[in-house]
Amino acid sequence: MPFFIKSKRKQSKSKTKNQRPQVSLSGEPSKRKRKKLRLQNEEIESESEIESDDGNRKADAVTSSDEEETAQEKKLRLAKEYLSNLEQEEADKREEDEIHRDIISHRLKQDLLEQSGKLQKLVADEYEQPSIDDLIVLRGHQLSVTCTVISPDKKHVFSGSKDCSIIKWDAMGGRRLHTIQGGRKGTEDTHTGHTDHVLCLAMSSDGKFLASGGRNKFVLLWNPDTCQLLHKFTGHRDSISGLAFRIGSHQLFSASHDRSVKIWNVDELAYIETLFGHSDAITGIDSLFRDRAITSGGRDASIRIWKVVEESQLVFNGDPGSIDCIAFINESNFVSGSDNNSLSVWSLMKKKPLVTVRNAHQGHDQNGNSSLRTNWITAVAALHNTDLLASGSKDGCIKLWKTCKNYTVLQPLFSIPMVGFVNSLVFSVDGQTLVAGIGQEHKLGRWWRIKEAKNGTRIINLKKKDA
């Protein structure tokens, strides 16, 4: 019995090795086989997922490598663009530096020519006859206007009069902006302003200071913006006949009928020195860039150029008569007007005029008679470093002149009708405006009276032909 059982087990084992998979009657695998197949399928799916993950990783790696290459190429491109921009900027800077150097060099040459008096711009032929529409009339003074000045920016005009007042005008609109009222004689210590005829005005080249003088024997310094009094310079013993600021500085020259010239430091509000030389009352003064001034000596028939640094003076003698007005053309040439109706152009290199125009202003008196002998040249002006001049008298017009052939010829350009005494003339810096002070009487006296004249200031807009 025990033997049979053992052999049967062995036989069953052998049968197990060789028998086919058990299949149910329905033809489907047995439950055990299904479980085994399910496990195998799970293993296959997991392997496929691993393989797909590996493929995705490889694709991502390829894509990321491509993106890294694109970023590198972008960086390289941006670097090249940055370098090209830097090169372009450096090239532009070099061009700008070259342009700036050219501009600076040209400006330095012009300044050198201006200071040496050799610069001359030929602009006179470009101007045309002004019309009535180009004239602005400023009425506000009760008596004759004796002096005018225009600000460097051409926005404002100041005028002084025999009524002892100073008026600030809007040059564009012709409106009165402010009036510095005159006072009665004897109130000099209490009144802020002039108490006698105002004879001269001057403004610094930067427009920060306005100076005025008159028969009160003192010079008043004003703020042009607010018209407030800043200081009073005293020292002259007679009427102040002329004032001039040195261009580019705050050095002020004052001329007086006491035959002296005084120099003032406006920044320090201080007196510097007094210059003597004229033997008669000084009638006019002017100054440019150099530390020097030019004066006309009235009845002593002389013109003097005061070299302040060298402490010397140049003397030029004119025709018998009174030299009443003077103006610099440039540092080497100047123009003067006399009471014998003559207009002269001078040079520093000669003691006599280069050219003189006799009977420069021809006209007639109220009775229709010729008045050549009484047409005093009362005002002259020059557009600095050009060939354009202007002169005025009482013959009813302002004349513009052209200098040519190295200042040896003086030709008339055209006349601007103007009834009355032309007591003051001044050009704007750019030459587009000419300001005139008009009165019924001469600024220094009452020898004649033109009743038809209207006391006031005239602004003349000068136009060029090509414009």
The string of pLDDT tens digits covering residues 14-64 is 444 444 444 444 444 555 556 555 655 555 454 554 455 555 554 454 444
pLDDT of residue 431: 93
Helix (H/G/I), strand (E/B), else coil: 81: helix
Q: How does pLDDT run along the chain (467 residues), one tens digit per residue?
A: 344 444 444 444 444 444 444 444 444 455 555 655 565 555 545 455 445 555 555 445 444 444 456 777 877 888 888 888 877 877 777 766 666 667 767 767 776 766 666 677 899 999 999 999 999 999 999 999 999 999 999 999 999 999 999 999 999 989 999 999 999 888 888 899 999 999 999 999 999 999 999 999 999 999 999 999 999 999 999 999 999 999 999 999 999 999 999 999 999 999 999 999 999 999 999 999 999 999 999 999 999 999 999 999 999 999 888 999 999 999 999 999 999 999 999 999 999 999 999 999 986 544 455 555 678 999 999 999 999 999 999 998 999 999 999 899 999 999 999 999 999 999 999 999 999 999 999 999 988 899 999 999 999 999 988 75
- What CA–CA distance (Å, rounded) separates 218 from 225? 22
The string of pLDDT tens digits covering residues 360-378 is 998 654 445 555 567 899 9
- What CA–CA distance (Å, rounded) separates 401 from 125? 10
DSSP 313-376: EEEEE-SSS-EEEEEESSSSEEEEEETTS-EEEEETT-SS-SEEETT-S--B-TTS-B-TTT--
Percent of the chain with pLDDT over 70: 79
Query: Would strands 388-392 and 397-404 be described as parallel, antiparallel, or unpaired?
Result: antiparallel
Instruction: Show the tokens assigned to 60.
Output: 């991502």
Per-residue exposure over 191-216, b if at least 16 CB sit within 10 Å of its own CB, e if not: eebbbbbbbbbbbbeeeebbbbbbbb
pLDDT of residue 13: 40
pLDDT of residue 245: 97
The string of pLDDT tens digits covering residues 387-416 is 999 999 999 899 999 999 989 999 999 999
pLDDT of residue 17: 41
pLDDT of residue 182: 93
Query: Would strands 251-256 and 260-265 be described as parallel, antiparallel, or unpaired?
Result: antiparallel
Helix (H/G/I), strand (E/B), else coil: 192: coil
Paired strand residues for 458: 137, 436
Instruction: Show the tokens assigned to 26.
Output: 């329905």
Helix (H/G/I), strand (E/B), else coil: 185: coil
- What CA–CA distance (Å, rounded) separates 277 from 436? 31
Average model confidence (pLDDT) across the chain = 84
Helix (H) or strand (E) holding 73: helix 31-116
pLDDT of residue 251: 97
Q: How far apart are the first and last CA of the chain?
A: 146
pTM above 0.85, yes or no: no
